[in-house]
Amino acid sequence: MTAPASATGITITAMGGQHADAVLDIYRLGIATGHATFETEPPTWGRFTATRLPDHRWVAVDSAGRVLGWVACSAVSDRCVYAGVVEHSVYVHPDARGRGVGRLLLDSLIASTEQAGIWTIQSGIFPENTASLALHTACGFRTVGTRERVGRHHGTWRDVTLIERRSPTVV
Protein backbone atom coordinates (compact mmCIF):
# COMPACT_ATOMS: atom_id res chain seq x y z
CA MET A 1 0.00 0.00 0.00
CA THR A 2 1.37 3.37 -0.98
CA ALA A 3 -0.66 6.41 -0.06
CA PRO A 4 -0.94 9.12 -2.69
CA ALA A 5 1.27 12.15 -2.25
CA SER A 6 -0.39 14.85 -0.23
CA ALA A 7 -0.43 18.53 -1.06
CA THR A 8 2.72 18.84 1.05
CA GLY A 9 4.67 16.52 -1.25
CA ILE A 10 4.82 13.70 1.31
CA THR A 11 4.22 10.09 0.34
CA ILE A 12 3.59 7.23 2.75
CA THR A 13 5.11 3.98 1.58
CA ALA A 14 5.94 0.55 2.99
CA MET A 15 9.13 0.53 5.03
CA GLY A 16 11.89 -1.56 3.49
CA GLY A 17 15.57 -2.25 3.83
CA GLN A 18 16.40 0.77 1.69
CA HIS A 19 15.03 2.93 4.54
CA ALA A 20 17.08 1.26 7.30
CA ASP A 21 19.69 3.95 7.86
CA ALA A 22 17.18 6.80 7.86
CA VAL A 23 14.70 4.96 10.11
CA LEU A 24 17.36 4.12 12.68
CA ASP A 25 18.75 7.67 12.52
CA ILE A 26 15.29 9.13 13.20
CA TYR A 27 14.89 6.65 16.05
CA ARG A 28 18.28 7.77 17.44
CA LEU A 29 17.20 11.43 17.26
CA GLY A 30 13.99 10.58 19.11
CA ILE A 31 15.92 8.73 21.80
CA ALA A 32 18.16 11.78 22.22
CA THR A 33 15.18 13.94 23.25
CA GLY A 34 14.87 11.94 26.46
CA HIS A 35 11.07 11.89 26.12
CA ALA A 36 10.45 9.26 23.44
CA THR A 37 11.39 5.87 24.92
CA PHE A 38 13.17 4.05 27.70
CA GLU A 39 15.63 2.80 25.08
CA THR A 40 19.07 4.40 25.06
CA GLU A 41 20.20 3.18 21.61
CA PRO A 42 18.29 2.04 18.56
CA PRO A 43 18.44 -1.67 17.77
CA THR A 44 20.19 -3.17 14.77
CA TRP A 45 18.11 -3.22 11.60
CA GLY A 46 17.80 -6.99 11.92
CA ARG A 47 16.38 -6.71 15.44
CA PHE A 48 14.14 -3.81 14.42
CA THR A 49 12.52 -5.74 11.57
CA ALA A 50 12.33 -9.00 13.52
CA THR A 51 10.24 -7.38 16.26
CA ARG A 52 7.82 -5.37 14.11
CA LEU A 53 4.97 -6.65 11.97
CA PRO A 54 6.01 -6.50 8.29
CA ASP A 55 2.59 -5.44 6.96
CA HIS A 56 2.33 -2.47 9.31
CA ARG A 57 5.61 -0.57 8.89
CA TRP A 58 5.41 2.75 7.04
CA VAL A 59 7.72 5.63 6.20
CA ALA A 60 6.92 9.19 5.15
CA VAL A 61 9.09 10.29 2.24
CA ASP A 62 9.38 13.78 0.76
CA SER A 63 9.64 14.58 -2.95
CA ALA A 64 13.45 14.40 -2.76
CA GLY A 65 13.27 10.85 -1.35
CA ARG A 66 14.22 11.78 2.23
CA VAL A 67 12.59 9.77 5.00
CA LEU A 68 10.78 12.20 7.30
CA GLY A 69 9.38 9.72 9.79
CA TRP A 70 8.21 6.20 10.43
CA VAL A 71 5.56 4.17 12.21
CA ALA A 72 5.61 0.46 13.06
CA CYS A 73 3.91 -1.94 15.43
CA SER A 74 4.47 -5.22 17.23
CA ALA A 75 2.13 -7.88 18.52
CA VAL A 76 1.53 -7.50 22.25
CA SER A 77 1.25 -11.25 22.81
CA ASP A 78 1.37 -14.53 20.95
CA ARG A 79 -1.84 -15.67 22.70
CA CYS A 80 -4.68 -15.92 20.18
CA VAL A 81 -7.03 -13.84 22.32
CA TYR A 82 -4.72 -10.84 21.72
CA ALA A 83 -4.37 -11.38 17.97
CA GLY A 84 -6.07 -8.06 17.30
CA VAL A 85 -3.96 -5.95 19.66
CA VAL A 86 -0.70 -4.25 18.69
CA GLU A 87 1.68 -1.77 20.28
CA HIS A 88 3.07 0.94 18.05
CA SER A 89 5.76 3.60 17.82
CA VAL A 90 5.81 6.69 15.62
CA TYR A 91 8.86 8.92 15.13
CA VAL A 92 9.25 12.08 13.05
CA HIS A 93 12.57 13.70 12.14
CA PRO A 94 13.02 16.96 14.10
CA ASP A 95 13.25 18.95 10.85
CA ALA A 96 9.87 17.57 9.70
CA ARG A 97 7.83 18.15 12.85
CA GLY A 98 4.74 20.31 12.59
CA ARG A 99 4.14 19.39 8.92
CA GLY A 100 1.50 16.69 9.45
CA VAL A 101 3.95 13.80 8.99
CA GLY A 102 2.93 12.06 12.22
CA ARG A 103 -0.74 12.30 11.28
CA LEU A 104 -0.13 10.80 7.84
CA LEU A 105 1.86 7.96 9.37
CA LEU A 106 -0.72 7.18 12.05
CA ASP A 107 -3.55 7.32 9.51
CA SER A 108 -1.66 4.78 7.37
CA LEU A 109 -1.08 2.51 10.35
CA ILE A 110 -4.74 2.71 11.36
CA ALA A 111 -5.84 1.85 7.81
CA SER A 112 -3.48 -1.13 7.46
CA THR A 113 -4.27 -2.57 10.89
CA GLU A 114 -8.02 -2.23 10.43
CA GLN A 115 -7.77 -3.89 7.03
CA ALA A 116 -5.96 -6.78 8.78
CA GLY A 117 -8.66 -7.11 11.46
CA ILE A 118 -6.66 -5.52 14.28
CA TRP A 119 -9.02 -3.89 16.75
CA THR A 120 -6.68 -2.14 19.20
CA ILE A 121 -3.53 -0.07 18.73
CA GLN A 122 -1.86 0.85 22.00
CA SER A 123 1.26 2.55 23.26
CA GLY A 124 2.88 4.14 26.28
CA ILE A 125 4.02 7.76 26.09
CA PHE A 126 5.98 9.80 28.58
CA PRO A 127 3.62 12.53 29.92
CA GLU A 128 6.22 15.17 29.03
CA ASN A 129 5.82 14.28 25.34
CA THR A 130 2.82 16.57 24.95
CA ALA A 131 3.12 16.81 21.15
CA SER A 132 2.82 13.04 20.80
CA LEU A 133 -0.11 12.90 23.19
CA ALA A 134 -1.90 15.65 21.21
CA LEU A 135 -1.22 13.88 17.90
CA HIS A 136 -2.62 10.62 19.21
CA THR A 137 -5.70 12.32 20.62
CA ALA A 138 -6.32 13.92 17.22
CA CYS A 139 -6.10 10.43 15.65
CA GLY A 140 -8.73 8.95 17.94
CA PHE A 141 -6.58 7.53 20.73
CA ARG A 142 -7.75 7.85 24.32
CA THR A 143 -5.83 7.86 27.57
CA VAL A 144 -6.36 4.65 29.50
CA GLY A 145 -4.34 5.66 32.54
CA THR A 146 -0.92 6.40 33.92
CA ARG A 147 1.60 3.87 35.13
CA GLU A 148 3.44 5.77 37.82
CA ARG A 149 7.18 5.28 38.29
CA VAL A 150 7.06 2.30 35.95
CA GLY A 151 10.72 2.41 35.00
CA ARG A 152 14.00 4.18 35.53
CA HIS A 153 15.39 6.26 32.70
CA HIS A 154 18.86 7.73 33.12
CA GLY A 155 18.55 7.22 36.88
CA THR A 156 15.14 8.88 37.19
CA TRP A 157 11.80 7.16 37.74
CA ARG A 158 9.41 7.88 34.85
CA ASP A 159 5.66 7.69 34.47
CA VAL A 160 4.07 6.41 31.27
CA THR A 161 0.67 7.45 29.93
CA LEU A 162 -1.10 4.45 28.42
CA ILE A 163 -3.10 5.20 25.28
CA GLU A 164 -5.20 3.10 22.94
CA ARG A 165 -7.33 3.37 19.84
CA ARG A 166 -10.17 0.90 19.49
CA SER A 167 -11.28 0.45 15.90
CA PRO A 168 -14.89 1.43 15.28
CA THR A 169 -14.96 -0.85 12.22
CA VAL A 170 -13.29 -4.05 13.44
CA VAL A 171 -15.78 -5.84 15.66
Partnered with residue 67 across adjacent β-strands are 61
Taking the CA atoms of 167, 171, 11 and 26 in sequence, report the sign of the dihedral they define: positive
| C-alpha to C-alpha distance for 70 and 52, rounded to whole angstroms | 12
pTM to 2 decimal places: 0.93
- The CATH code of domain 11-122 reads 3.40.630.30
One digit per residue, the tens of pLDDT, for the chain of length 171 reads: 444 445 479 999 999 999 999 999 999 999 999 999 999 999 999 999 999 999 999 999 999 999 999 999 999 999 999 999 999 999 999 999 999 999 999 999 999 999 999 999 999 999 999 999 999 999 999 999 999 999 999 999 999 999 999 999 998
- pLDDT averaged over every residue in the chain: 94
* Domains of the chain by residue range: 11-122
The model's pLDDT over 4-48, given as tens digits with 9 standing for 90+, comes to 445 479 999 999 999 999 999 999 999 999 999 999 999 999 999
β-bridge pairing 120-125 and 85-92:
parallel
From the CB of residue 68, how many other CB atoms can be counted at a distance below 10 Å? 25
DSSP of 24-89? HHHHHHHHHTSSS-S-SS---HHHHHHTS-GGG-EEEE-TTS-EEEEEEEEES-SSGGGTTEEEEE
**Contact between 141 and 163 (Cβ < 8 Å):** yes
